[in-house]
């Protein structure tokens, strides 16, 4: 039995289309996903603004809130909470050169409109967490945008969100690349700096995604630890990644088991979750996955997390202490490998 609560987004159960090929599975209605999420053991659902309120660009404020209230009733029906709402700022034509940092005023205004609607939706769904995965926020042509100006734009945009609602917490999900190669806020270190520059740093934190840390050539557990050290890890997106390639959103732990072990370990050791934080997944099924197995990558991610949690809770800290005192890191490393390979 895990001591953590888990969350997932509806986009993690998908029809399998990618930039190189069409769908390989049927689309699944949102309510069916909620039912299965609960059965699998999830406690909360993550939302983009238009997952929660489709075609919100065509609606006005009150209509958006009304749609959000209907969704809240559906969540209640399945005993699920909403973890966060994230404005989707990478599909709309207004976001082709970013949103908050677009060189066009009308695009920046569009991004802010979506961010404020996301806050409205979050309040109706009963969460105070807004996630900003910044997607295209960067520089397509190096000479088209000053990185100084863009960084300051991001801080002022977040300040506007903090002023729009006195309770909202803004959680940046950093990613160093894809779909933009010169990103403005690519690691947890950047997030901490941006947070400190805002008008209310305690309400600005980070969402560490395992794959995004790996894409930056960094260790996910250390990125998690860095945010925890500043008390600013508002959530996580656990998954995996086979090296510095395209973003793969693989099942948690399947490529880098020891890295996954240490992500669970740093969360356990620092009582993550004790203030209601969720262990979020952001994983995608393989293209070959059949309709019947549409949720298997989620089930596998939870299984691997819980198996690793058991190993963390069996970790021999006395042995670790002895190895550290003697600087026997070879011995400590072998102990960890034995633990992971079931010899311990
Ligand atoms: C993309 C991001 C995305 C966000 C939610 O790489 O991980 O899935 O987490 O939009
Ligand atoms: Mg993510």
Q: What's the pLDDT score for residue 152?
A: 98
Q: What's the chain's Rg over C-alpha atoms?
A: 20
Token readout for 88 is 């989707």
| CA-closest residue to ligand 1 atom 3 | 133
Q: DSSP per residue over 10-52, as a string? A: GGGS----BTTB---S----HHHHHHHHHHHT--EEEEEHHHH
86 CB-near residues (< 8 Å, 6+ apart): 46, 47, 48, 49, 118, 130, 131, 132, 133, 173
Q: Which of 80, 73, 72 shows the shortest CA–CA distance to 36?
A: 80
Place of tokens 């994230």: 86
The number of CA neighbours under 13 Å toward the Cβ of 49 is 30
Give the Cα separation of 180 and 110 in Å (integer). 19
156 neighbors 261 (Cβ within 8 angstroms): no
Give the Cα separation of 240 and 219 in Å (integer). 12
Task: Report CA torsion sign: 297, 300, 306, 308.
Answer: negative
Q: What's the pLDDT score for residue 343?
A: 81
pTM: 0.97
Give the Cα separation of 131 and 240 in Å (integer). 20
Give the Cα separation of 91 and 133 in Å (integer). 13
- CATH architecture for residues 6-313: Alpha-Beta Barrel (3.20)
Q: What's the pLDDT score for residue 1?
A: 79
Give the Cα separation of 164 and 199 in Å (integer). 12
Where the chain has pLDDT below 70, the residues are none
| CA-closest residue to ligand 1 atom 5 | 133
| CA-closest residue to ligand 1 atom 4 | 133
For residue 248, which ligand has an atom nearest its CA?
Answer: 1
Q: Which atom of ligand 1 is nearest to the CA of 209?
A: 7
Q: 319 has which bridge partners? A: none
Q: Which atom of ligand 1 is nearest to the CA of 178?
A: 6
Distance of CA 294 from the midpoint of ligand 2 (Å): 19
Counted residue by residue, the chain has a size of: 344
For a substitution probing ligand 1, which of 220, 237, 278 has the most ligand atoms within 8 Å of its CB? 237
Element (H, E) at 130: strand 129-133
Q: DSSP per residue over 168-212, as a string? A: -EEEEE--SSSS-SSBSS-SHHHHHHHHHHSS-GGGEEEEEEHHH
Q: Where are the domains of the chain?
A: 6-313, 314-344
Place of tokens 């209310």: 200
């Amino acid at each position: 039995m895990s001591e953590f609560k888990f969350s997932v987004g509806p986009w993690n159960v998908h029809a399998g289309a990618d930039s190189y090929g069409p769908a390989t599975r049927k689309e699944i209605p949102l309510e069916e996903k909620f039912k299965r999420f609960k059965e699998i053991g999830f406690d909360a659902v993550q939302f983009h603004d238009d997952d929660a309120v489709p075609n919100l660009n065509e609606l006005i404020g009150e209509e958006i809130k009304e749609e959000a209230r209907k969704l809240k009733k559906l969540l209640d029906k399945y005993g699920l909470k909403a973890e966060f709402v994230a404005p989707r700022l990478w599909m709309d034509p207004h976001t082709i050169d970013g949103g908050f940092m677009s060189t066009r005023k009308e695009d920046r205004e569009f991004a802010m409109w979506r961010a404020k609607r996301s806050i409205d939706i979050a309040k109706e769904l009963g969460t105070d967490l807004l996630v900003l995965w910044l997607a295209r926020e960067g520089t397509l042509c190096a000479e088209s945008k000053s990185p100084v100006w863009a960084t300051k734009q991001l801080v002022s945009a977040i300040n506007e969100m903090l002023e729009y609602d006195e309770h909202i917490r803004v959680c940046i999900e950093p990613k160093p690349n894809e779909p933009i190669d010169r990103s403005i806020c690519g690691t947890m270190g950047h997030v901490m700096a941006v947070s400190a520059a805002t008008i209310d740093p305690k309400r600005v934190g980070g969402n560490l995604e395992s794959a995004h840390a790996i894409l930056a050539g960094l260790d996910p557990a250390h990125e998690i630890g860095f945010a925890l050290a500043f008390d600013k890890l508002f959530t996580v997106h656990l998954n995996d990644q086979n090296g510095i390639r395209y973003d793969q959103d693989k099942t948690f732990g399947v490529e880098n088991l020891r890295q996954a072990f240490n992500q669970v370990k740093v969360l356990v050791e620092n009582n993550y979750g004790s203030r209601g934080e969720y262990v979020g997944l952001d994983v995608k099924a393989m293209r070959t996955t059949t309709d019947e197995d549409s949720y298997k990558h989620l089930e596998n991610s939870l299984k691997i997390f819980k198996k690793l949690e058991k190993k963390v809770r069996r970790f021999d800290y006395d042995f670790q202490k002895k190895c550290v005192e003697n600087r026997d890191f070879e011995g400590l490393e072998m102990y960890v490998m034995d633990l992971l390979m079931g010899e311990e």
